[in-house]
Amino acid sequence: MESCLPKTDARFRPDLRAYEEGKVEKGQSIKDWLEDKQRQHKKEREAKGEKWKPLWFEYKYDNDLNEFCWLFTGEYWKRNFEKVPDIY
């Protein structure tokens, strides 16, 4: 199945893999690193006055549901993930 999954699939996350292997401290360390990195990116965005925008979803009105909701843009499958984003 690995060859059928996108490289960004959560099952490839090293923190989850470490937890599954019983390496709890290693998994927690990787998770903490990732969260710190996310916080740092947020601070940098806010310092530049940039607003966060999801890559794969947009908040808009859905006529079928008759309400605003997050809708998938479809752009995920168009992106080349030869190099996985530096999130892991």
Whether pLDDT at 20 is above 90: yes
What are the pLDDT digits (tens) for 22-62? 999 999 999 999 999 999 999 999 999 999 888 889 999 99
SS3 at position 62: strand
Q: Is the pLDDT higher at 70 or at 55?
A: 70
- Judged on CB neighbours under 10 Å (0-12, 13-18, 19+), 31 is middle
Instruction: Find where tokens 């690995």 sit.
Output: 2
Alpha-carbon gap, residue 56 to 76, rounded angstroms:
6
Partnered with residue 72 across adjacent β-strands are 57
